[in-house]
Structure 1
């Protein structure tokens, strides 16, 4: 794979971020504007892959939460729903748990002293993306847990996992999200081992992780999920389309609303391919 475009994106962003700390001469301001324009042109020319599911009151959710409800917003004075024909606009109410659809789990989801959604730095919302594909292993072990040996074998092919990366686990479970919800909700399922999670954070310095399932692992105590959230890390659950993203070289962009002291929220994630 030609990594030159990815290096160009990295170089352009480095220049842009460096110049952001400099205040002064018009020449610097002009260079900053050119760097921003160059970075945009490079990124805009790339292929984008949506890593997010659409969700509705009918989509899978952990049984302990229950489905969402969508309803039309109404005038509180009359109780009459707003319509475009009568009012010129319409709006909706959404009632659902934060861990719904493709969503972000902040540390505070499991840790009373952990960071809430509004405390996660925005600079962590765009990261280099690495994808561990365990689908070949699922033919002999449908509930394979990614191991440290799997990661090291991946590194033999793709190079060392870069510090500061977002690590995603590809299982192709996402294909059952809409077509076969019962199968999507199956238990057990392919997942992360605790050893792999700890290795990636402690030995490789990743920033966050994500997966296609509704949980990080299948242990009774959710040991992998508990460990990462209680150690100040965050994750994206119920991801989609990881089969359309290369093992390395892409960027991931993730965003979510900023509820004060938020413990989770549906998120929008997408990849920019090299």
Structure 2
């Protein structure tokens, strides 16, 4: 590790001011950033820790939406969202291992937008709204590709608002060592439609499977997905699985998610 300064702001305003320093980087739970620093893949001179900002933590209902503070840990989401949004809580309960769940944050995960992370599928599959210190961004506009989001420099995720569906489920075909998703599918049924979001599979990061959404909106059953498939053209291919394999698993995980949600 190399030398750097650490800022410990107590408010969002203080954090925004600290991020204005040259080569400053926001630090959430550190589950991605700290290993990145150790490998010298990034070398900011200032880390602005967000974990001490009370206004960025917590889980609460606001009308028909579940609102989660950006610095809320996965373990807290798993525990406190269970009564309101069980599909989301179950997803959070299977992220990484206990150490990751007790340090990693929802805001950090969404800001990093790892192509195999779980929360992007939940946010996109729920039609969530990502709220920052300056604006509100619909999930459909927020995710812009692998490790790429609509966040601007110095912008902080303050909370995420999830419309609560009638039924939901997340199925993850995980890579055993990292516990990241080789393919993960989040399905959420609302009064007027069904949303299906896929993570881990595409070179473009998380995406919606519109063909499955249309079929499931007419018939919310696993058999509605029979005969449907996603193209393997832009799927990730690596030592864990070919592009065609991932495309096939998308269909399998979608059917499992629908069956479990029902």
Interval of TM-score (by shorter of Structure 1 and Structure 2): under 0.3
Please give the TM-score of this superposition, normalised by the length of structure 1.
0.25
Please give the TM-score of this superposition, normalised by the length of structure 2.
0.26
Higher-Rg structure is 1
